[in-house]
Structure 1
Amino acid sequence: MKKRLLVPIALIASLSVIGLAGCQAASPAPTSSQAAGTGSSTAAVLPVDSNPIVNASSVVGLTVVSAAAEDNVDPSTNAAISDRLQVTVRNDTTNELSSFEVYYVMKDVTTGQSEAYYQALTGFTLAAGATTTLSFDGEAGAGHFPENTFSIYRSSKNQVDFTIEVSAAGVQVANATATKGSGEGDAAD
């Protein structure tokens, strides 16, 4: 009789362990979104606890020309567009740059609350001497990358300051800052 009782219990225990192991293996670790080869992605981006960029290069060659978090302008048409984080970068080298990564921290200056985000811009390259604008807005198309629509940037009515780090293989990290002023959101530009 005891044998009859032990077999089902052992079977249930074995299946439970296998099921739990399967759940663990199927759950990917949280990572940032990666842009496709076209330099665009619609995937979600989540806050990170620390900056994963490791770039010790001292070779000058990547420049952040400008960074904006409000009063944005379309780089192609110069027309006013809705607020988003935009970072315009320039390749000052004679070689194409690749392996781009971006890390930025946004801080609500009133509450002191901050959030950090990281994205590997997989497939994005910048030709020698070229300048382009990276838009973190969740839109489709080249140069557009995901954003967290629930971030401090979108939810806070206070001033939000950004510190931005852009990295590419073989060149020194480029840094910038941007500010979203206080207010109810995107005003007409």
Structure 2
Amino acid sequence: MTDIRARKIALRAEMQGRRARLDPALGAKLATHVLATNIIPRGAIIAGYWPLAHEIDVLPLLDALHARGHELCLPETTPPGTALRFRAWHPGAVLLPGRYNTLHPAGPEIIPDVLLIPLLAFDRHGHRLGYGGGYYDRSLAGLPAAYRLGCAFAAQELAELPTEATDLQLHAVATEAYVKRFQPRP
């Protein structure tokens, strides 16, 4: 195991513990900040996610975006080693159980313009620490034009994260306290 991978494993455990002490309902404040910045273009197709335990709740943001007329989708967790599938969704739609205790809609596959991305940590350069399965890394590599908006608690920000060549930077991170924009390298 490389030093970077070992550091990521240790950070994942630490950040899961930190995040478990935070209130997912702060997602309502995250929604307020995102909507106030107009960071999401009018008419963009948005890929959200159904929040897992201890993730900041993005459902208030998804509800507001739906009310503004955005088409929404949620990811379906596919077999290990593959990219996510994004399926059409709207508030109130039936969700099906998926891998790793995830939920996804049965709607048709669609290609998002903006991805709301859960994470365990992010740094001042727009790097993110995910769960380690590589799903979002593979999905983002297949959607190079998509806008990458991390969704997190402000307490998940670190000065610097260990990174690998496959780790794509975020364009921005939204938290309950702020929206921070980055300049990802091409």
- Is TM more than 0.5 here? no
Larger radius of gyration: 1
Greater per-residue strand proportion: 1
Greater per-residue helix proportion: 2
Scaled by the length of structure 2, the TM-score of the pair is 0.24
Scaled by the length of structure 1, the TM-score of the pair is 0.24
Higher relative contact order (CA 8 A, sep 6+): 1
